[in-house]
Structure 1
Amino acid sequence: MKRFENILFATQGLPSKSDALDQSIRLAASDNVNVSGLIAFPTFPNELQQYQQNFQATLQNNLQQDIDSYRHQNNLTEQQAPFPFAVKSSEQPAICIIKEAMNNNIDLLIKEAEPIKEGGEGFKAVDMTLLRKCPCAVWLHRPTEKPQTKRRVAVAVDPENTDEQQRALSLRLLELSRSIADSCDSHLHIISCWEYYLEHYLDNHAWIHVEDKQLSQELEKAKDNHHQALQALIAESGVAGDYVIHHLHGKPDDAIPKSVEESEIDVLVMGTIARTGISGFVIGNTAENILQAINCSLVALKPEGFMSPVA
């Protein structure tokens, strides 16, 4: 696994079969890095304040039992796998989690994704706030019955980004996804989409007639240029091991979720496009659409220098 220095496990205390907690402790123990926890739950209204203390104690006890159970199953002592955690109530649990990450220089936030209805897709309000506003990497776990060594990992990259920060982000995505795949089934699925920017204007347009042969040549040229750029990006990243390229023709917000479903991907690694240095510019429309169309676990990175709009 690509090394992170400071990991935060966050939970809302909701019932979940996710292995987010196990992942947090396993990463910290294997890489000998810091890990801490946070239970963030909504503040009770005044008329229910008498119940909040007992509820908070229950959340704390449940998490401690889960931590102790993991240590016991893996023959770890408290000294070998320390896991300090806090319990906080807030009217905005997502902002509470983000502030905890910012105040403690967290570089990886791990959380179980909010439960969705069976057959549902996308992420709910708290998780979307984390994806939009949390400055560090965010790993949202979804429940799966697959053992760790059978899980499939994919990464979505755009090799034709001319912006230096976005290209650097693509390289980080490839490196991180390679290390995650190595801890799973070892096969990395690299997804990238190409289009010819005038394709939909020129194809069967009432006022512009372009010969089919000429349009086909332009499409083939765009495809080849994109594929060459993708190969160059992969080579620059230095990723090794087994990987398969999904070079898809179409819009990313349509093609990527379809590819994830068809390939039975368990973890998707992708970037959230941000204008660094401008508070609040977080997720581009394409990334937002992809996030609302997938039902697998997600690891999301932002470009270096991203400024969270959370004070």
Structure 2
Amino acid sequence: MKRFKDILVIAPRDVDMRKPLQAAASLAASNNARVTLFDSLGPLRFGRGAVLPGYKPDDVHQLMEQARRAELEALAAEVPHARVHVDVGTGRGFIEIIRRVQERGHDLVIAPPDQPGGLVGFARASTTMHLLRKCPVPVWVIRPEVPSTGDVLAAVGPFEEGTPTPLDRKIVELGSSLAAQRRGDFHLVHAWSLEGESLLRNGRVKMPASEVDQLVSEARLMAEDGTAKLLAEVGLGTDEVTAHVVEGRPVTAIGQIAGSIDAGVVVMGTLSRTGVSGLIMGNTAESTLGNLRASVMAVKPEDFKTPIESTRSLLSLSTDEM
């Protein structure tokens, strides 16, 4: 977590911000990081018959922005020993957030889920899901009902021919650091399976059971070896992490392990390992996020490209077309 130096905290109105602010304050104190509180106002829409004596729509919007800025400044005063700045934008929430990340160099986004507390998953959290899919930097979604201390689970894989990817290493490094910050235990889960096992055992052309068993054994060893290699690459000993190498579907394994250890945070990648970078979320991530009760830190590969155009890019494009 030492890597984060410029944290953007999303602060919607009428939301309990204590946990996100605590997390930002802790990181700011340990990293000497800058913190920015941000909220986005929607565009004003007046009916045709609306009459505003003495005011233009822009005047009303400016008053609203000033009022919201004052509220955020009062919220910023609750973050001790940190450099806290306030920013208010206009437009669709997740787009404005991602554009600020692109243009101002924020390296972590912290946000509460935009849905009622206590719900399983994030299916009703539209802005949250857009950020998890499209934001180019890590996004830490902090549920207000989850304790600020406790265990962390990192979900890794699938490995490429048994070899961990740079994204896997990034997930483990962040998860280990986050567990230390939360004074909890660090767990890792890697789900594996033999592709096509049911067809090999029960298809019209069956392999001998002993041969299928041998293939399953080889798949298990590859998963165990890949996990051991990953932990060695990041310098974690067996006394620093509990590794769960589980046969089965990743969605099921992640949910079961997270529930059994009562994980407070799950750190995971949110992109499919194949497909068009920046445009799709992996099926595993989508399904897992729909079933978790924990907070989530979502991580992207270093070469991830967001589909959201920055304002600077749009201005440059407009200038080139003139």
Q: TM-score, normalised by structure 1?
A: 0.86
Give distance in 2, aligned partners of 1:145 and 1:108: 20
Q: Structure 1: which amino acid aligns with 2:128?
A: D
Q: Which string of whole-angstrom CA distances, capped at 9 and with x for unpartnered residues, describes residues 73-113 of structure 1?
A: xxx3xxxx2211111221x1110111011110111111112
Structure 2 residue aligned with 1:178? 176
What is the count of residue pairs matched by the alignment?
Answer: 298
3-state SS in 2 of match to 1:70: coil
Going from structure 1 to structure 2, the CA distance change for 1:10 and 1:257 (only over 3 Å counts) comes to same
Structure 2 residue aligned with 1:32? 32
Instruction: Provide the alpha-carbon RMSD of the alignment.
Output: 2.6
Going from structure 1 to structure 2, the CA distance change for 1:39 and 1:158 (only over 3 Å counts) comes to same
3-state SS in 1 of match to 2:38: strand
1:8 lines up with 2:17 in the alignment: no
2:120–2:290 CA contact under 8 A, matched in 1: no
Q: Which string of whole-angstrom CA distances, capped at 9 and with x for unpartnered residues, describes residues 132-160 of structure 1?
A: 111111111111353x34x1101001162
Going from structure 1 to structure 2, the CA distance change for 1:290 and 1:85 (only over 3 Å counts) comes to same
Structure 2 residue aligned with 1:226? 223
Structure 2 residue aligned with 1:155? 154
Structure 1 residue aligned with 2:317? none
Counterparts of residues 1-311 of structure 1 (less than 5 Å): 1-16=1-16, 19-47=19-47, 56-71=65-80, 76=81, 81-90=82-91, 92-116=92-116, 118-123=118-123, 124-144=125-145, 146=147, 148-149=148-149, 151-158=150-157, 160-161=159-160, 167-205=165-203, 207-240=204-237, 242-273=240-271, 280-311=278-309
Q: Which string of whole-angstrom CA distances, capped at 9 and with x for unpartnered residues, describes residues 237-262 of structure 1?
A: 11245211111111112221222122
Give distance in 2, aligned partners of 1:110 and 1:286: 22
3-state SS in 2 of match to 1:127: helix
Q: Structure 1: which amino acid aligns with 2:144?
A: P
Give distance in 2, aligned partners of 1:171 and 1:122: 25
Give distance in 2, aligned partners of 1:172 and 1:273: 14
3-state SS in 2 of match to 1:19: helix
CA deviation after TM superposition for structure 1 residue 274, in Å: 5.5
Give distance in 2, aligned partners of 1:118 and 1:299: 18
Give distance in 2, aligned partners of 1:170 and 1:139: 17
2:179–2:186 CA contact under 8 A, matched in 1: yes
1:195–1:222 CA contact under 8 A, matched in 2: yes
CA deviation after TM superposition for structure 1 residue 128, in Å: 1.1
Structure 1 residue aligned with 2:53? none
1:189–1:246 CA contact under 8 A, matched in 2: yes
1:2–1:175 CA contact under 8 A, matched in 2: no
1:18–1:144 CA contact under 8 A, matched in 2: no
2:162–2:226 CA contact under 8 A, matched in 1: no
Q: Which runs of 5+ in 2 are unaligned?
A: 51-56, 310-322
1:110–1:139 CA contact under 8 A, matched in 2: yes
Give distance in 2, aligned partners of 1:158 and 1:283: 15
2:117–2:143 CA contact under 8 A, matched in 1: no
Q: Structure 2: which amino acid aligns with 1:40?
A: S
Give distance in 2, aligned partners of 1:59 and 1:200: 58
1:278–1:307 CA contact under 8 A, matched in 2: no
Q: TM-score, normalised by structure 2?
A: 0.83
Give distance in 2, aligned partners of 1:276 and 1:194: 17
Question: Percent identity between the aligned chains?
Answer: 28
Give distance in 1, aligned partners of 2:305 and 2:162: 17
Q: Structure 2: which amino acid aligns with 1:152?
A: D
Query: Which is greater in Rg?
Result: 2
Going from structure 1 to structure 2, the CA distance change for 1:194 and 1:289 (only over 3 Å counts) comes to same
3-state SS in 2 of match to 1:120: coil
Give distance in 2, aligned partners of 1:279 and 1:192: 23
